[in-house]
Amino acid sequence: MTTDPRQTDAVDPRFAALPGRPGKIVAVHLSYASRADQRGRRPEHPSYFLKPSSSLAASGDVVERPAGTELLAFEGEIALVIGTVARNVRPEDAWAHVGWVTAANDFGLYDLRANDRGSNVRAKGRDGYTPLGPSLVAADGLDPAALRVRTWVNGKVVQDDTTAGLLFPFPRIIADLCQHLTLEAGDVILTGTPAGSSVAVPGDVVEVEVDAPAAPGGPTSGRLVTTVTQGDHGFDEGLGSLPVVDDVQRVEAWGSREAAGLPPAEDRTVLTPALRAKLSEASVAGLSQQLRRRGIDNATIDGVRPMHPGARLVGLARTLRFVPNREDLFAAHGGGHNAQKRAFDAVGPDEVIVIEARGETGSGTLGDILAIRAHARGAAGIVTDGGVRDHAAVAAVGIPVYSAGAHPAVLGRKHVPWDADLTVACGGTTVQPGDIIVGDGDGVVVIPPALAEDVAEAAVAQEAQDSWIAEQVAAGHPIDGLFPMNAEWKARYRAWREKS
């Protein structure tokens, strides 16, 4: 005999604060200006992810931090509960489809975020990671721009913001969502968190309250109370992604480098001899792989090849930007001590001149005189997604150069030297002054300075492992179980490492 799931849900304490089990929970990534500014990016449009209804919990429940993890973060939010079906509604009509508002806590495990970025399935979908309640506040008569959300940790207020500070008003979010999917009665929208979200540790008590201070009677959801506990169980490496933590995740989880106990960012931008040695040992392919594992896919400067295939390139980015040629602009900016000449005169030891030429190869972006100047200044190299004039003469200088090829035409045929030492786009990749540039025969990769130590160490370790695997394959072992290694081969590798 089976039980009607609707009857089961009606008495399930997880859904006690709701009309019933929601068909879907939609969450907004970034919606408050305070949070966006804390993260250093303001999206042009709202973006979303889904959470399973099995992640819901009631006020008074506990939330578990799994064994082997450290970054369980709370996010106090306003939850909208849909009252009537909404499909293709206008923003001015959208609020009428909201039945209630209440408090929510969008817990997330940042240890799983890098391998789950965007979808948040594992990072935020775990059982108990969406406490909601304790009471519903009727939306009718409420001003969606005059709601307040507050969060307390162990009795101290850590979040306090209102919907007046939203990047995307609630009616816009509802109208946007329902042009893509039908919002059904009982569905929940988690509307994002303001600044102040941080990490909770076992023993912490986190409370969230949503109210409307200006509305008659000051209606409130009451305080949603959740206690953080330490779990006994971790994750099985044979089943899926394991927790991975780096300083990027620590900063985003805690809210700042200071809160995470990390040194100021500028302390990590120096290309030390030890770091340079690691980056020189690691391959660009290996570094790119490690960046991908940390959620950064777009880090290679595409379409450029080395002038000296056996050379290595490691240095800090110094940037130069060209804009498309327009005769009047070239007359004003192309002559004299222009931006191009200033950049080559200013480059210093261990720096790499990175040139944005928009992938336009119809003229040169440097020639032998400028290459000689950079070499004399001690520059580590030059990268351009445009052409190189005097190709053979530049090659003879000996400085590492990566380009899109040779072209005999002078700069003014296609480009105007415009400005330097700013964020540029080279080979489809964003490069900022101070980024770490590494090149080899495979191409060029851009490494954010804060990730460089971690990425370099991981790449060197991975290449040592890959080299050992290659030796086993060359010795006749089959690839299955060896690449990637299963538990047996991992044990053999660890034993080999201990002896070597």
**pLDDT 10s digits, 94-104:** 999 999 999 99
pLDDT of 1 higher than 70: no
Does 262 reside within a domain? no
Reported as a pLDDT band with limits 50, 70 and 90, residue 461 is confident
**Amino acid identity of 70?**
E
Q: What is the CATH number of the domain that holds 363?
A: 3.50.30.40
Q: For position 2, what pLDDT does the model report?
A: 31
Do residue 94 and residue 147 come from a single domain? yes
Question: Quick one: average pLDDT of 327-350?
Answer: 86
Q: What is the mean pLDDT of the chain?
A: 89
Q: For position 8, what pLDDT does the model report?
A: 43
pLDDT of 48 higher than 70: yes
Reported as a pLDDT band with limits 50, 70 and 90, residue 356 is very high
Do residue 246 and residue 286 come from a single domain? no
How does pLDDT run across 154-167, given as a tens digit for each residue?
999 999 999 999 99
Phi, psi values for residue 493, rounded to 5°: -65, -45
Q: For position 11, what pLDDT does the model report?
A: 63
Does 258 reside within a domain? no
Do residue 370 and residue 400 come from a single domain? yes
Identify whether the C-beta of residue 164 lies closer than 8 Å to the C-beta of residue 64.
Answer: no
Does 358 reside within a domain? yes
Does 161 reside within a domain? yes
Reported as a pLDDT band with limits 50, 70 and 90, residue 6 is very low
**C-alpha–C-alpha distance, residues 470 and 266, integer Å:** 39
pLDDT of 322 higher than 90: yes
Does 384 reside within a domain? yes
Q: For position 93, what pLDDT does the model report?
A: 95
The count of structural domains within the chain is 3
pTM listed for this prediction: 0.55
Do residue 179 and residue 274 come from a single domain? no
Q: How far is CA 480 from CA 35, 463, 477, in A?
A: 46, 19, 9
Reported as a pLDDT band with limits 50, 70 and 90, residue 117 is low
Do residue 220 and residue 164 come from a single domain? yes
Q: What percent of the chain has pLDDT over 90?
A: 62
How does pLDDT run across 181-205, given as a tens digit for each residue?
999 999 999 999 999 999 999 999 9
Q: Counting Cβ atoms within 10 Å, is residue 265 exposed (0-12), middle (13-18) or buried (19+)?
A: middle
Does 2 reside within a domain? no
Reported as a pLDDT band with limits 50, 70 and 90, residue 114 is low
Question: Quick one: average pLDDT of 107-115?
Answer: 84
For the ranges 369-378, 414-423, 448-457, 476-485, which has the lowest average pLDDT? 476-485
Do residue 118 and residue 248 come from a single domain? yes
Q: For position 237, what pLDDT does the model report?
A: 64
Q: For position 403, what pLDDT does the model report?
A: 95
**C-alpha–C-alpha distance, residues 102 and 97, integer Å:** 15
Radius of gyration of the chain (CA): 28
**C-alpha–C-alpha distance, residues 467 and 139, integer Å:** 62
Q: For position 146, what pLDDT does the model report?
A: 94
**C-alpha–C-alpha distance, residues 455 and 314, integer Å:** 14
Question: Quick one: average pLDDT of 359-380?
Answer: 93
Do residue 369 and residue 468 come from a single domain? no
Question: Quick one: average pLDDT of 366-384?
Answer: 94
Question: Quick one: average pLDDT of 298-311?
Answer: 92
Q: How far is CA 310 from CA 171, 317, 375, 456, in A?
A: 58, 21, 18, 20
Do residue 120 and residue 150 come from a single domain? yes
Say which residue, 10 or 197, is predicted with more confidence: 197
Does 98 reside within a domain? yes
Q: Which residues contact 14 (CB under 8 A, 6 or more apart)?
A: 56, 57, 58, 61
Q: For position 499, what pLDDT does the model report?
A: 77
- Specify the residue for token string 């004003």: 332
Do residue 423 and residue 371 come from a single domain? yes
Reported as a pLDDT band with limits 50, 70 and 90, residue 115 is low
Identify whether the C-beta of residue 97 lies closer than 8 Å to the C-beta of residue 86.
Answer: yes
**C-alpha–C-alpha distance, residues 110 and 103, integer Å:** 22
**C-alpha–C-alpha distance, residues 79 and 98, integer Å:** 10
pLDDT of 379 higher than 80: yes
Does 150 reside within a domain? yes
Say which residue, 337 or 439, is predicted with more confidence: 439
Which of 427, 446, 465 is at the close of a domain? 446
pLDDT of 267 higher than 70: no
What b/e sequence results for 371-381 when a residue is b if at least 16 CB atoms lie within 10 Å of its CB, and e otherwise? bbbbbebebbb
Q: What is the CATH number of the domain that holds 143?
A: 3.90.850.10
Do residue 287 and residue 309 come from a single domain? no
Question: Quick one: average pLDDT of 230-250?
Answer: 75
Q: For position 485, what pLDDT does the model report?
A: 78
Question: Quick one: average pLDDT of 443-464?
Answer: 89
Question: Quick one: average pLDDT of 144-172?
Answer: 95
Question: Quick one: average pLDDT of 456-477?
Answer: 83
Q: For position 84, what pLDDT does the model report?
A: 95
The boundaries of the domain holding residue 288 are: 269-296+448-500
**C-alpha–C-alpha distance, residues 350 and 329, integer Å:** 32
Do residue 77 and residue 50 come from a single domain? yes
Do residue 243 and residue 331 come from a single domain? no
Pairing state between β 56-57 and 48-51: unpaired
